């Protein structure tokens, strides 16, 4: 297979999505402390070189501070989490609908986030290796829809203000259709692939991931393509994922297969994700969104990393 990641602006290495929110913490509320982030990053250090951070909020700022102050060996893809600038009445779980006043406020907030991302990129040029103008804001089912033309403007603004390569992180499907104009502007294309969300069984999973990746890579042969989310949940209440398709054994199979393929073919991939996040989704404890971590929320390793990281 042709290697579509051979023109990456940073060296190949193991990568993982990191969000450190614990029990009782959530974005916009209580944030992980400096010491909690040190604990997390010491768990991950030596096993992953790259971290993907979803937002340039207080959590993201603290992670960057910890890496610099503690002299940890990480590079970071830093994102700006942009929120809805247009109603998406097709959002399947009923979100995505806002007042005109809220949408206007969101536009102001998004621009502030983009400027904050640029500021951090210039403050931490030795740590931040790439920048993302948003996350899953253009896919049909999103609850925070932003028009493609506006995302393009954000990408251009970041490129003008910072030196790092700029991307946008999105499900693989929109890259094949509505995101084609955006693909011409970004420095690299970032896709998400989740076979289990698309009702694939474990024996179909890696082939499906390969198909997702190759479809986008072949559509844009002049651009480096990376995977910024790929993973397997370990619990489900049946909302969107059959509970029989998720457990720690299946997560390990998918992870091991994914690592073997991506390292052999040099497909740069951020595993989703480091730690379970109980704040996500509904209050239902088995909500799938809460259970994608390779580690549980109390930082105990799941089966997938028991041999990799032994608790002290």
User: Parallel, antiparallel, or unpaired: how do β-strands 128-135 and 75-79 relate?
Assistant: parallel
Other CB atoms closer than 10 Å to residue 220's CB: what's the count?
19
Least reliable range by pLDDT among 237-241, 248-252, 265-269 = 237-241
Q: How many residues comprise the chain?
A: 312
Interval 56-66 mean pLDDT = 98
Each residue's pLDDT tens digit, 262-310: 999 999 999 999 999 999 988 999 999 999 999 999 999 999 999 886 6
Q: Residue 232 has what pLDDT?
A: 98
β-partners of residue 78 are 53, 131
Alpha-carbon distance of 130 to 132, in angstroms, equals: 7
Q: Residue 3 has what pLDDT?
A: 53
Q: Residue 243 has what pLDDT?
A: 94
The answer to whether 138 touches 186, Cβ cutoff 8 Å, is no
Domain 15-305 classification at class level: alpha beta
Alpha-carbon distance of 275 to 294, in angstroms, equals: 6
Alpha-carbon distance of 28 to 84, in angstroms, equals: 16
For residue 114, CA distances in Å to 120, 155, 226, 243, 306 come to: 10, 9, 22, 38, 38
For residue 154, CA distances in Å to 198, 250, 284 come to: 30, 38, 35
DSSP code for 134: E
Alpha-carbon distance of 64 to 71, in angstroms, equals: 10
The answer to whether 118 touches 143, Cβ cutoff 8 Å, is no
| Percent share of the chain, pLDDT over 70 | 97
pLDDT at 14 > cutoff 60:
yes
Other CB atoms closer than 10 Å to residue 11's CB: what's the count?
10
Other CB atoms closer than 10 Å to residue 35's CB: what's the count?
9
**Distance from the Cα of residue 244 to its chain's centroid:** 25
Alpha-carbon distance of 73 to 70, in angstroms, equals: 9
β-partners of residue 189 are 225
For residue 102, CA distances in Å to 105, 107, 212 come to: 5, 9, 35
Each residue's pLDDT tens digit, 92-128: 887 889 999 999 999 999 999 999 999 999 999 999 9
């Amino acid at each position: 297979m042709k290697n579509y990641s051979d023109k990456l602006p940073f060296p190949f290495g193991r990568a993982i999505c990191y969000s450190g929110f614990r029990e009782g913490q959530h974005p916009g509320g209580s944030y992980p402390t400096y010491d909690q982030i040190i604990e997390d990053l010491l768990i991950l250090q030596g096993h992953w070189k790259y971290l993907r951070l979803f937002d340039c909020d207080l959590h993201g700022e603290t992670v960057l501070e910890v890496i610099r102050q503690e002299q940890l060996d990480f590079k970071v893809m830093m994102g700006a989490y942009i929120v809805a600038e247009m109603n998406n009445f097709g959002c399947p779980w009923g979100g995505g609908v806002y007042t005109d006043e809220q949408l206007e406020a969101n536009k102001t907030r998004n621009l502030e986030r983009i400027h904050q991302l640029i500021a951090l990129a210039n403050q931490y040029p030795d740590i931040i290796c790439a920048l993302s103008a948003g996350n899953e804001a253009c896919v049909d089912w999103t609850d925070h829809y932003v028009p493609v033309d506006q995302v393009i403007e954000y990408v251009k603004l970041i490129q003008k203000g910072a030196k790092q390569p700029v991307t946008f992180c999105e499900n693989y499907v929109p890259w094949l259709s509505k995101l084609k104009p955006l693909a011409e502007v970004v420095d690299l294309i970032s896709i998400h692939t989740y076979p289990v969300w698309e009702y694939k069984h474990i024996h179909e999973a890696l082939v499906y991931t390969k198909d997702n990746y190759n479809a986008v890579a072949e559509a844009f042969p002049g651009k480096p393509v990376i995977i910024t989310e790929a993973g397997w949940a370990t619990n489900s209440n049946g909302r969107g994922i059959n509970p029989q398709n998720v457990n720690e054994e299946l997560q390990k199979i998918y992870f091991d297969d994914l690592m073997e393929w991506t390292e052999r073919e040099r497909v740069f991939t951020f595993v989703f994700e480091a730690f379970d996040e109980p704040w996500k989704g509904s209050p239902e404890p088995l909500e799938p969104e809460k259970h994608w971590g390779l580690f549980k929320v109390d930082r105990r390793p799941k089966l997938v990393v028991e041999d990799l990281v032994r608790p002290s």
